[in-house]
Structure 1
Amino acid sequence: MVFLSWTRPTPKDQKDCINKSGTFNYDSKYRGVTAKPLSMLKEDKELSKDGFLINHSKILVGSGSDAYEKGKTALQTWRHFGLSWAFVDPKTPIEKGVKFCVCVKEFVPWLRMPLQIIYANETRSNKTSASFGFGGGTLGGHLLSGEERFSVEMDGDKQVWYEILSISKPAHPLSVIGYPYVFLRQKYFAHQSSDAVRKFVSSK
């Protein structure tokens, strides 16, 4: 099953996608794996053995506690998906168990891809270090199988970073055939999404 729309998906279209999506389309043993650091994922031989590829992007978007709070707000309001060709309903709450629909324009049709939030975490180790992030797992009807984390982090030097970390593999014949293209699109999304977050953080 693939969810296609010839015009920009309406709220009703997105809800229909979520209602028909069913359960997760990847092994439960990997549920929540993107909460781990990149270094641990690279050492996990099971991931590569099972056909998963790791995609990672980490970009400096600002500095200081105000920049961190704005970065957190950007994720909570889905500004990182505020693109002309990709979006998520900005009213979608960042809470464990919430299902959401990523809408992506590919050539003529729009793809609607269902996911569910696996976890949402915020940590504050001291006055100068904090992080906020959440991970979404793919559901039936998504072209890929896997999980993706979006996070913002303020390090000990008060620099604020936006990070995307995902594991994925094809879940549909279309993505099997075009996976090199899909992987490039993931890289392109990371670049555009980082720009969107950086602009929001730097805005007054």
Structure 2
Amino acid sequence: MVFLSWTRPSPEEQKACINKSGSFNYDNKFRGATEKPAPLLKQDKELGKDGFYVNYARVLVGSGLETFEKGKDALQNWRHFGLNWSFVDPKTPIQSGSKFCVCVKEVFPWLMMPLQVVYVSENKNLKKGVASFSFGSGTLQGHLLAGEERFSIALDENNQVWYEILSFSKPAHLLSYFGYPYVLLRQKYFAHHSGSAVRKHLSA
């Protein structure tokens, strides 16, 4: 099952995709694994045994609490998907259990890939000058990949603000199985452009 559209997917098409998607397509024992710090996730031997590949990107997007708050707002409004070739309905609420579609243009057709928010996490310790906001989403039936992805924005002890993408994935369809090297390249391509989109939003 693959969800395709020859034109930019409408809200109705995205809703239909979500309604047909069903449940998560990866093992429950890995649900929420992206809450771990990136180094620990990369060392997770169970993920490797199950054929998952860990992808990680970290981009410096500014400094200060105000920038962090703007970055948090950017994630909550899906600004990190503000691309010509990839988007998420900005009205999608960032809350556990919320289902949505990532719409991606690949050459001629658009792909609609269903996911569900697994967790939302926010921490602030302004006495130490640190704060973070993140959410993780898991793939549903009908997604070309199986796995989970976390987006986060964090203010560190040096007053720097970082945007991070952390995911683990493996092919869940013949299309992605045969084209997985291309998929991995596209993940890196997305990370680069998503980081640029966040920086652009913060400097606006």
TM-score w.r.t. the length of structure 1 is 0.99
- 3-state SS of 2:70 partner: helix
1:72 aligns with 2:65: no
Amino acid at match of 2:195: S
2:184 aligned partner = 183
Q: Partners of 1:7 and 1:42 in 2: how far apart?
A: 37
Cα distance in 1 for residues equivalent to 2:113 and 2:86:
11
**Structure 2: gaps of 5 or more residues:** none
Alpha carbons 1:120, 1:134 under 8 Å: kept: yes
Please tell me whether residue 138 in structure 1 is matched to residue 144 in structure 2: no
Equivalent in the alignment of 2:26: 26
Please list, as runs of the form range in 1=range in 2, the aligned pairs for 1:1-204 lying within 5 A after superposition.
1-127=1-127, 128-203=129-204
TM-score by length of 2: 0.99
What does the per-residue CA deviation read over 1:119-176, in whole Å, with 9 as the maximum and x for residues that have no partner?
A: 0010012341000000000000000000000000000111000000000000000000
Deviation for aligned residue 1:93: 0.5
Instruction: Indicate the percent of aligned positions where both proteins have the same amino acid.
Output: 68
Q: Which amino acid aligns with 2:109?
A: P
State the distance in 2 between where 1:193 and 1:168 align: 18
- Tell whether the 8 Å contact from 1:170 to 1:179 is kept in structure 2 after alignment: yes
Cα RMSD of the aligned pairs, angstroms, is 0.6
Give SS of 1:62's match: strand
Give the superposition deviation at 1:35. Answer: 0.5
In structure 2, what is the Cα distance between the partners aligned to 1:42 and 1:183?
16
Shift of 1:56: 0.4
CA contact (8 A) 1:60 1:161 kept: yes
What secondary structure, in the 3-state scheme, does the structure 2 residue paired with 1:9 have?
A: coil
Distance 1:172 1:147 in 2: 16
What is the SS of the residue equivalent to 1:23? coil
1:74 is paired with a residue of what secondary structure? helix
Question: Structure 1 regions of 5+ residues with no counterpart?
Answer: none
SS of 2:113's partner is strand
AA matched with 2:90: P
In 2: Cα distance, 1:194 partner to 1:140 partner: 28
Distance, in Å, in 1 between the alignment partners of 2:180 and 2:201 is 31
The SS at the match of 2:157 is coil
Q: Quick check: 1:78–1:88 contact (8 Å CA) kept in 2?
A: yes
Contact 1:67/1:202 (<8 A) preserved: no
